[in-house]
Structure 1
């Protein structure tokens, strides 16, 4: 087995591959392999936790049983790669090309994809636990997840646990968040057009400058301490409904901004 001491730089990795050697079971924790030509490389059971593999060419590479937790695979080429039983928890797959890849037993919980991600034909990625457009994430445990800029348009997040999650600037257009737990979630600048929020808990949520045009809700579980400062698209009817919540909730300050929910709503410009 190749010693860790001989693998200190990306050039060392390329030299090993050029020599025809495998990188099975190697510890490549947090390695920066971005943009490298790694076609047919053998990373079987390798540790690639939080490695940077963005834009790398991993065509036909063997990543079976590899540990890729938290790795960056954005825009990576993974065509015909073997990802059998690989761990891809919270991996960034934005723009990645996975056509023809083997994904049997691959663990994709919390992995992020977008509309440019290409999956193998017939692969049920929407119900794989991965996070992206039209994903089925009902009841998902996503507390404190980093979903900044995530593309979740049309996703189903009924009853999902998103407490403390970072959804700053996320695209949640048309998403279903009824009964979701969004306590202390960061939703600043989020795109919430036509999102369904009935029964959601927004206590302590940061919604500053979010676009709430067409948001649907009859009743919210709580908005205590939520900050709606500079929210866009709020109709008079919607604001009145929010201001009909219990006074105790409305007069609770947001933990960070110290602005009460009532004050943040009263400062919002109403959509005519």
Structure 2
């Protein structure tokens, strides 16, 4: 018999999908989630940091923007799970199955994926670092993920949040970084030739020995950036770029920049409210 409000009756416990509230209640009561079936559950933005989720089943579960930092997910099944924006920093995913999972814009720094299955996983703009351990033979540098040595030539990273991200040695030739937040990012030895950095935030970024030839810097915020050894040849436009207190700008490079058309030098930066020429005259003492 159907219930009076016409909702289908639950015929068995297997028909009942746990909610985020149910799971958090279990944790608070001291119950274990090890090996638990959490498939197809909606756990949007749930905080499970530090929880032991060994062998748990998250098949087709929704964990977008969830915090699973420091969790033990060894042997877990995350097949086709929606993990976009998830925080997996310092998480243990040894032997986990992530086939077909969506990890776009996730944070994988210091995560351990030893022996994990990553077939058909989506890693666009996922963050990794030197401490991230990927399965042997997995070509993470060309997966669309962002980190040291990544191959991101021509990548669309407009407005991406890349604050303090380590991109040492990455290839970003012709990449689209308009409006991206690269504050204090490590961009040492990065190839940025032909990249679009219009209105990008590069405040305090390390650009040592970076290749910046033919980049577009209109409206970029380069205050206190480290440009020691950087190649600044043939920059397309510096209109509105703020170079205040940059480090390592040689006198010859400064002279080249000051020789740009007056229309570019007089342009104001939309964030700092300073024009490019004035910014080039504000030097590190």
Q: TM-score range by the shorter chain?
A: over 0.9
Indicate whether 1:17 and 2:33 are aligned.
yes
Indicate whether 1:136 and 2:151 are aligned.
yes
1:1-272 matched pairs, under 5 angstroms = 1-4=16-19, 6-9=22-25, 11=27, 15=31, 17=33, 21-269=36-284
> 1:257: Cα distance to partner?
1.3
> 1:14: Cα distance to partner?
7.2
Q: Could you tell me whether the CA contact under 8 Å between 1:22 and 1:41 is conserved in 2?
A: yes
Structure-1 separation of matches of 2:196 and 2:202: 13
Q: SS where residue 240 of structure 1 aligns?
A: helix
Q: Do the aligned partners of residues 10 and 157 (structure 1) sit closer, same or farther apart at CA in structure 2, a change above 3 Å counting?
A: farther
Deviates more, 1:9-18 or 1:187-196: 9-18
> 1:9: Cα distance to partner?
4.7
Aligned to 2:10: none
| Residue ranges of structure 1 left out of the alignment (5+ in a row) | none
Structure-2 separation of matches of 1:153 and 1:10: 43
> 1:202: Cα distance to partner?
0.6
Structure-2 separation of matches of 1:44 and 1:105: 15
> 1:268: Cα distance to partner?
2.0
TM-score, length of structure 2 as denominator length: 0.91
> 1:267: Cα distance to partner?
1.5
Structure-2 separation of matches of 1:177 and 1:66: 34
Structure-1 separation of matches of 2:109 and 2:284: 35
Q: Could you tell me whether the CA contact under 8 Å between 1:202 and 1:226 is conserved in 2?
A: yes
Structure-1 separation of matches of 2:174 and 2:151: 11
Q: Could you tell me whether the CA contact under 8 Å between 1:16 and 1:22 is conserved in 2?
A: no
Q: Do the aligned partners of residues 12 and 251 (structure 1) sit closer, same or farther apart at CA in structure 2, a change above 3 Å counting?
A: same
Q: Do the aligned partners of residues 124 and 165 (structure 1) sit closer, same or farther apart at CA in structure 2, a change above 3 Å counting?
A: same
Deviates more, 1:7-16 or 1:167-176: 7-16
> 1:24: Cα distance to partner?
0.2
Higher radius of gyration, 1 or 2: 2
CA deviations over 1:223-256 (Å, ceiling 9, x no partner)? 1101111101111011111112111111101112
> 1:13: Cα distance to partner?
10
| Residue ranges of structure 2 left out of the alignment (5+ in a row) | 1-15
Structure-2 separation of matches of 1:180 and 1:195: 12
Paired positions, count: 269
> 1:8: Cα distance to partner?
4.4
Q: Could you tell me whether the CA contact under 8 Å between 1:210 and 1:232 is conserved in 2?
A: yes
Deviating above 4 A after TM superposition, structure 1's stretches of 4 or more consecutive aligned residues are none
Q: Could you tell me whether the CA contact under 8 Å between 1:176 and 1:197 is conserved in 2?
A: yes
Q: SS where residue 31 of structure 2 aligns?
A: helix
